[in-house]
Structure 1
Amino acid sequence: MAKTGGSSKPAKLTRVEKKGARTAKRQARRETWRNMGQAFNLTRKGDPRFLPYLIIFSVLAMALAYVLVLWFTGSTLLPIPFAAMIGLVTAMLVFSRRAQRSMFTQAEGQPGAAGWMLQQQLKGDWRLTQAVAGTTQLDAVHRLVGRPGIVLVGEGAQHRVRGLLAQEKKKVSRISGDTPIYDVIVGTGEDELRLAKLSRYLLKLPTNLSKEQVSALDKRLAALGGARAPMPQGPLPQGAKMRNMQRAVRRKS
């Protein structure tokens, strides 16, 4: 009996296509290792505790794993690969945590750091609009729409950012109705939230809206327009001259 309406099998790759796919995979692996190497070197230079912690915790994890497997099995050889695997996993965890910590430390206080963090590290169902308000001094307010409601995240000089937050809150409230509006200033000063704690702060906010309400609210807020304040794409490097950056922002605005 002949088959009808069945889906056709995908065409086989040619030899050239297979070779191209293998080359692309090798390049991707090399790029991954290169990025990891750069992250390792940057973390090592910026965090003097990184290598000692990496060695100490890895060795302790390996020793503990070896002793536990030895105690359960009685074999002196079987625990070796298991301990090596545990040591490698522990090293990767320490590397990840210290690299993230070093990254936040280096970015903290730099113009554009909060916007960059929200774009790169934000978890959950959030709709981000960067730099909905700002100044030529690189102060900025970013707008988030999510299950908790609306969150306005400010960064820059506190005395200027508070005014920006108040203005943006007034604009948003005309459209959002009874939707909760939260505001926070990211920085290192008094009553400011550290950059490394921003993601945790957002996760702790209560759930007030459904997914459908989030989408509808985001569409209504789109009427206010998108980003209106030019900002650097990521934290401004510490060696960059603020005057030059401010001049570039004035030209764009």
Structure 2
Amino acid sequence: MTYCAAIRLKDGMVFASDTRTNAGVDHISTFKKLYQYGIEGERFIVLQTAGSLATSQAVFTKLQNDIDQRTESNLNTVLTLFDAAQMVGECMRSIMNHAKAVANADIDGSFTSSFMLGGQIKGQPPELYMIYPEGNCIRATEDTPFFQLGESKYGKPILDRAVTYNTDVNHAARALMLSFDSTIHSNLSVGMPLDFVLYRNDSLTLPEGRRIDEHDEYFNTIRHQWSEVLRQTLIELPKCPDGYWK
């Protein structure tokens, strides 16, 4: 399993994915699930995935091959991010249908993947899309500024409480770190290292991003401080009034 999340904010975007892939407790591997595309000063695109590793890797490979071979339509030539999301959806469906035909079976969980695509093309606003296994997609809005894939339930409460469209980019990044920390604590199928990318709107740069492992000093500082604050806050909450528990 995996956990991926992306946030579209008034002033920027934050993307994060774990790297753990497992096929049972005795077969755990590390695979990258967050990829960047784009042209410096012209477009910036991030693609994240959860689901079938074989399907996801095939999609990533096909998209990169189209860029390398300079096919007429690729992620570096599409006119809009919606077109890019449609391209990813069509590519995924083609690969899944091929897998279905080879296996002579219905498309089920063993073949399916989901994707999130976000970024910005020059002259257009930043956008974030969730792309479903069926190939269709939805766009993040000011009311719903973030999307998640995979094991989302453990980290979602933090994002629900801490992040809105107007949240500062750095604050949102810290909230996302804690969202991943909570998920890692509660689910063994999600693990480090984590890939993070922070983008400032209209910069049209290709940020290097950061890979966070278990030795990352800043990540460990805030996760330990968060745990201490939660424990201390619990102690300081008002006591139950007399007769509350009958």
TM-score normalised per structure 1: 0.27
Structure that is richer in helix per residue: 1
Work out which structure has the larger RCO, using CA pairs closer than 8 Å and 6 or more positions apart in sequence: 2
